Amino acid sequence: MGQRNEIQHWTLIEVAQHVAAGDVSAEEVARSALDTIEELNTPLGAFLTVTADQMLTQARAVDARRTRGEPLGKLAGVPLGIKDALCTRGVPTTCGSKILVRGSEPWRPPYDATTVARLWAEGALLAGKCNMDEFAMGSSTENSAFFPARNPADPTRTPGGSSGGSAVAVAARMIPGALGSDTGGSVRQPAAYTGCVGVKPTYGRVSRFGLIAYASSLDVVGPMASDVRGAARLLEVIAGHDPRDGTSLDQPVDAYEAACERGVRGLRVGVPEEYFGTGLQPEVKTQVEAAIHLLEREGATLVPVHLPHTRHAVATYYVIATAEASSNLARFDGVRFGLRHEPPAGDVTAMYEATRGKGFGPEVKRRIVLGTYVLSHGYYDAYYRKAQQVRTLIRRDFDQVFGEVDVIATPTAPTVAFLLGEQLDDPLTMYLNDVYTLPANLAGLPALSVPVAPAPPSGGGSPLPVGLQLLGPPLAEARLFAAAAVVEAMLTSRQPPGALSPTAPTP
């Protein structure tokens, strides 16, 4: 038990270092993770599928390479979770939906997503497929067709969504890292609610090949980890051009892990007043502002900025995202995907009931209907075209601000994690949980959430995790890691990278 506890509290990079040094075998790491998952997964609901046999096989292959003296990859022996929206060859992939389950047999893709394949090439171990809101539609993981995930900080509360299972697995120390997908904040918001690091890369920075689409112009695969450097290493591995993805950027990958040592001296940090007004929980505001001032104390310059079209982001997002979802999910028609039962041959009514009528949950149905409506004759110009025009204005706001500053600092979410069930019957309130994260997706910008000091819920109670969001111009992920590493170091009483003084100030 003692060794297991020690291993499970290692960061992603520490696991890789200990395995490479021979201090511990990859199989020992794998078994430690499996023991922790067995203990915690039922109460917390992080994993939909646990791939114990595959992880042990991969671990033994890593140990064999080390024994033979062969080079090991950057993630050799590191257990990782994969959001169930990413295809994994031969491993159940449901996207959190029963529409991809026929009878009792889930769909098993014949290929790996590019991001997943890149993890395996560096020696990572597959712990399993992580729980999520159905087809990534939700902000709480309560829309999973199987069971909700629960926040390790308080199991009566949501871990956020849609990548809630990935966040829970990392925050509960089942695994040191995971992949999620971020369409409107689905990596960053659960990272903030659970107290881990979540990164949304620049649109096109990471391949979407093998990611089951929700909204194609917004979806991005992003890493989650227990610390900033671990997230940086994960992004280094999965980033880069992929000819199988037509939106993939053919640009060199920066040294994100090395950027964590830069510090922030001379960095211009924009603080937009639109993100600190009505709707922001006062306790969250206090902790986020304190973290921003830590950056200032370490040599950054704070600059007030304005993003006037931010107030239109939620409405703009839900028009564009639902429109794209209604198109992307049309493939689940009971012919190629989506047949849950075997209706009588030629029985069209039974075919519909077996797929569209029963296969999708209420939130997915709601968004398909909304998307179909805004694309319909007579409403396209009034809603969809107008939303695209506003999207351009939001992007221009950011372009102008990034002419004045290097990064932008905001809260990740307006409140701490809310209670499970509290907002299920109020979708509009649920949608507002992503008010601070949506603009980065609409503008295609990189953004990162890093934990800051916790805050109590507005009604009182034990403090809960809070996230600071950092945004940058396209392909400026390295700047975000540099700033996040300083915040992380100062809040954990470590010497901040590039510090101005030999000892870190007390936060």
What is the three-class DSSP state of 129? strand
Give kind and range of the element (H or E) at residue 314.
helix 313-328
Q: What angle do CA 108, 114, 120 make, to 5 degrees?
A: 80
Q: How far is residue 430's CA from residue 119's CA, in Å, rounded to a whole number?
A: 33
181 carries an active-site annotation? no
Q: Which of 186, 248, 326, 449 is catalytic?
A: 186
Encoding tokens for residue 240? 């880069």
Q: Which of 144, 162, 166, 207 is catalytic?
A: 162
217 carries an active-site annotation? no
Q: How far is residue 126's CA from residue 289's CA, in Å, rounded to a whole number?
A: 38
What is the three-class DSSP state of 71? coil
Q: How far is residue 103's CA from residue 354's CA, in Å, rounded to a whole number?
A: 11
CB 479 within 8 A of CB 407: yes
CB 240 within 8 A of CB 186: no
Q: Which residues contact 483 (CB under 8 A, 6 or more apart)?
A: 264, 267, 269, 295, 300, 407, 409, 470
98 carries an active-site annotation? no
> Rounded to whole angstroms, what are the CA distances from 426 to 194, 277, 370, 432, 496?
22, 22, 16, 10, 42
As a three-state string, the secondary structure of 435-502 is CCCHHHHHHCCCEEEEEEEEECCCCCCCCEEEEEEEECCCCCHHHHHHHHHHHHHHHCCCCCCCCCCC
Indicate left, alpha or beta for 70 from its phi (over 0: left) and psi (-120 to 50: alpha): beta
CB 263 within 8 A of CB 498: yes
Q: Which of 83, 129, 200, 326 is catalytic?
A: 83
Q: How far is residue 283's CA from residue 464's CA, in Å, rounded to a whole number?
A: 10
> Rounded to whole angstroms, what are the CA distances from 250 to 16, 27, 238?
29, 37, 14
> Rounded to whole angstroms, what are the CA distances from 435 to 27, 206, 317, 358, 414?
42, 24, 10, 31, 8
> Rounded to whole angstroms, what are the CA distances from 111 to 96, 180, 200?
19, 18, 24
Q: Which residues are catalytic?
A: 83, 162, 186
